[in-house]
Chains A and B, each alone.
Chain A
Amino acid sequence: DGGITQSPKYLFRKEGQNVTLSCEQNLNHDAMYWYRQDPGQGLRLIYYSQIVNDFQKGDIAEGYSVSREKKESFPLTVTSAQKNPTAFYLCASSLREDSYGYTFGSGTRLTVV
């Protein structure tokens, strides 16, 4: 079955650590996105990529980094520069033709300990 897989489901980070969240899709989608969701709030865009080896900053990119070396993969690194990283992180992908909207992964919940 085609889909988008995020791992791990839960992640704990110590102060000063970098952590990487995985996002893999087998839908042959060109575009991939990372969103952050805080309790009771909507989704805010961190980074997005419309093609391999290219990506753009979203609304809240500070303290995050990404890479897009393969079409299927769009990992997100939460760096120590991100001062408030505790949140629910969602990865999504889409076709160039937007009739079908985004397909989302099941999310990674990151907690700073």
Chain B
Amino acid sequence: SQQGEEDPQALSIQEGENATMNCSYKTSINNLQWYRQNSGRGLVHLILIRSNEREKHSGRLRVTLDTSKKSSSLLITASRAADTASYFCANAGGTSYGKLTFGQGTILTVHP
């Protein structure tokens, strides 16, 4: 399987705390993307980081990429109960405009 691994599988925190999720992948990539999925719904694109970038920010989200370790992390700062969802990383290997390979996901629960 070309699927990557996400760590942890589940994360439970209190509102206001930071949440960090990690993702590892196996092949070379063109870019790495993070998605969010609320229960029983489709995925929503959060942020994309290219292979020549090391860090990217979007609002309360911070993504890092270490291509030498084939890993990425997603940090959500000052979490809210509404952030409760599953978070997936996905990598686009080799060519741009290509198919994505998704990780197993991290289930984040933020308690009010």
A107 on interface, CB distance cutoff 8 Å: yes
Q: How many A-B residue pairs have CB under 8 A?
A: 69
Task: In the complex, identify which listed stretch (B12-20, B61-69, B76-84, B93-101) lies at the interface while the others stay far away.
Answer: B93-101
| Contact pick for A94, options B42, B43, B97, B104, CB 8 Å | B97
A107 touches B42 (CB 8 A): yes
A2 on interface, CB distance cutoff 8 Å: no
B71 on interface, CB distance cutoff 8 Å: no
| Contact pick for B44, options A31, A97, A104, CB 8 Å | A104
Max chain A CB contacts within 10 Å: which of B43, B45, B98? Answer: B43
Q: Which residues of B contact A44 (CB under 8 A)?
A: 3, 102
Q: Which residues of B contact A64 (CB under 8 A)?
A: none
Q: 0/1 per residue, A52-80, Cβ < 8 Å to B?
A: 00000011000000000000000000000
A90 touches B42 (CB 8 A): yes
A102 touches B3 (CB 8 A): no
* Residues 39 to 98 of chain B near chain A (Cβ within 8 Å): 40-45, 48, 88, 90, 92, 96-98
Q: Which residues of B contact A92 (CB under 8 A)?
A: 43
B102 touches A42 (CB 8 A): yes
CA distance A59 to B33 in the complex (A): 19
* Residues 1 to 51 of chain B near chain A (Cβ within 8 Å): 1-3, 30-31, 33, 35, 40-45, 48
Top 4 nearest A-B pairs (CB, nearest first) are A101-B45, A104-B42, A42-B102, A43-B102
**Chain A residues within CB distance 8 Å of chain B:** 6, 30-31, 33, 35, 40-45, 48, 50, 58-59, 88, 90, 92, 94-107, 109
- 11 more CB-based (< 8 A) A-B contacts, given A42-B105, A99-B48, A102-B45: A40-B104, A42-B3, A42-B88, A88-B40, A97-B96, A97-B97, A101-B33, A102-B35, A102-B100, A103-B45, A106-B41
